[in-house]
Amino acid sequence: MIGLPAVARDTYWVGVNDHETDLFEALWPLPYGVSYNAYLVVDNKIALIDAVKGHFLADHLGKIRALLPAHKSLDYLIINHMEPDHTGAIDILRSVFPHMTLVGNKKTLEMLRAFYGADSACLEVGDGDELDLGTHRLQFHLTPMVHWPETMMTFDATTGVLFSGDAFGGFGAVDRGLFDDEVNLELMQREMLRYFTNIVARYGQMVIKAIEKLRPVPLRVVAPTHGTVWRRNPSLPVELYARWSAQECDPTVAVIYGSMYGNTYRLVEVAARALTERGLAPVVHDIARSHASHVVADLWTCKGLILACPTYNTGLFPPMESLLALLENKLLKNRLLGFVTSYAWAGGARKALEAFAQRLSLEVVPPVVEVKGAGTAQDLEQCALLAAHLAERISS
């Protein structure tokens, strides 16, 4: 069918591209859009695997109808994930296809009732259960908390396609290419990291568990609910998600700072320069201006983090406070921290940063720089020294 790429035999992408939502989850900017991927397996029985956000139903439905053989209807809707970006269209889909059976695990069906009421035929499936469509044999693998408690994956044992839900997904619409062999992979991998860090990272341990559980599955194609479909190199998204979930880091540094009047920034510049001179040119973000979604993605693979900000009303500069809350929620680990703080009378930023490091059991590399007012030449030297120590630790 024109415009509806085949992911495998009898298996078509019937998702939608969204360039209208500015903020995913009303939080995360979407400069390259996002896709809600759904797939149709056309066999003796016809199964839709995941649906889309409600607003995009007309487009989604048009695609499904274009593929339905004459006099046939949808037999199953398989719900790998109940979040409304994949189920918002359910209400109308079930009125269009009244004989469709909703397929999910116990938790999915419970949630389904809470969100959309109970007036549908449902089929409850458990871990390892199979559903025969005729030629295609679908197997269900429960992968709880790979984003919500009910998340599961569906593996088509006939074609080797793993419909993985949010796992292995990324931001970025797929109108610039659906498959990994068609797209600008560098861009899509960056958007995938931003998706992972902002949406999934909190549940890294559960991602690792899911990956371990799926090891024996002979997958040929990874088809997530967002972003690129991986057919040339299906192991790459799995490796990337495993690495990001384990918080394995590169020997690199991110410098994240806030500064109202430029005093803290002068110190930051010295530290950044000293890192660059040691071959560790850092990624630098002004936390008041860079959106946290980019900051978190950029720092996620950095072993070293310099956090720098002034004291503000006895505590942290507010955008820094909010970034640290996000990092704490994501259970940040395995980093070396450096602190640069400033104040005018009693301070407070330093204490708050140290408390953060303690709560997360993260090592702080000395010296901790704390500067009154504009700071002295010795203060600048302390910043260079901090950079040198961090560089030494990272490179050793």
85 contact, one of Fe ion, ligand FMN, none, CB 5-8 Å limit per kind: Fe ion
Among 312, 323, 324, 336, binds ligand FMN (CB under 6 A): 312
The nearest distance, CB 224 to Fe ion, in angstroms, is 9
Query: What residues does 129 pair with on adjacent strands?
Result: none
- Cα-trace Rg, the chain: 24
Residue 194 binds Fe ion, judged by CB under 5 A: no
Quick one: the chain helix, strand, coil %, rounded to 5?
35, 25, 40
Q: How far apart are CA 183 and CA 205, in angstroms?
A: 29
x-marked contacts with ligand FMN along 133-152 as a string, rule CB under 6 A = --------------------
Q: Which stretch binds ligand FMN (CB under 6 A): 93-101, 161-169, 309-317, 382-390?
A: 309-317
- In the region spanning residues 145 to 174, those forming contacts with Fe ion, defined by CB under 5 A, are 147, 166
Does the protein bind Fe ion through residue 298 (CB under 5 A)? no
Q: Cα separation of 83 and 64, whole Å?
A: 21
Contacts of 173 (CB under 8 A, 6+ apart): 17, 18, 19, 32, 33, 34, 35
C-alpha angle 22-48-62 in degrees, rounded to nearest 5: 65
DSSP state of 307: E
Stretch that binds Fe ion, among 78-86, 232-240, 267-275, 344-352 (CB under 5 A): 78-86
Nearest distance from residue 284's CB to ligand FMN, in Å? Answer: 15
- Enumerate helices (H) and strands (E) in the chain, giving the number of each: 12, 23
Among 18, 75, 83, 180, binds Fe ion (CB under 5 A): 83
By the rule CB under 6 A, 264 interacts with ligand FMN: yes
Which of ligand FMN, Fe ion, none binds 339 (CB below 5-8 Å, type-dependent)? none
Specify the stretch interacting with ligand FMN by CB under 6 A; choose among 153-161, 226-234, 256-264, 329-337: 256-264
Nearer to ligand FMN, 170 or 310 (CB): 310
Q: Does 300 bind ligand FMN (CB under 6 A)?
A: no
Cβ closer to ligand FMN: 79 or 256? 256
CB of residue 313 to ligand FMN, shortest distance in Å: 5
Residue 348: which of Fe ion, ligand FMN, none does it interact with, CB under 5 to 8 A by kind? ligand FMN
Tokens of 91: 């209400």
Per rule CB under 6 A, count of chain residues that contact ligand FMN:
20
Rounded to whole angstroms, how far apart are CA atoms 6 and 11?
6
User: Could you tell me which of 89, 2, 11 has the C-alpha nearest to residue 50?
Assistant: 89
318 binds ligand FMN (CB under 6 A): no
Helical segments of 68-147, H only: 84-87, 90-96, 106-116
Taking residues 363 to 382 in sequence order and writing x for each that binds ligand FMN by CB under 6 A, - otherwise, the string is ----------x---------
Q: How far apart are CA 251 and CA 56, in angstroms?
A: 43
- Structure-token pair, residue 345: 């009378």
User: Which residues make beta-bridge pairs with 41?
Assistant: 11, 47
Phi/psi at 223 (5° precision) = -120, 90
Strand partners, 315: 312
The answer to whether the CB of 21 falls within 8 A of the CB of 52 is no
Q: Spell out the alpha helix ranges (H) of the chain.
A: 57-67, 84-87, 90-96, 106-116, 185-195, 204-214, 235-246, 263-277, 292-299, 318-329, 349-359, 377-395
The interface with ligand FMN within residues 337-356 (CB under 6 A) comprises 342-348
What minimum distance in Å lies between the beta carbon of 318 and ligand FMN?
10
**Residue 83 binding target from Fe ion, ligand FMN, none, CB below 5 to 8 Å by type:** Fe ion
Choose the one of ligand FMN, Fe ion, none that binds residue 147, judging by a C-beta under 5 to 8 angstroms depending on kind: Fe ion
Span interacting with ligand FMN, options 45-53, 85-93, 148-156, 262-270, rule CB under 6 A: 262-270
List interacting residues with ligand FMN (CB under 6 A): 259-265, 310-314, 342-348, 373
List interacting residues with Fe ion (CB under 5 A): 83, 85, 147, 166
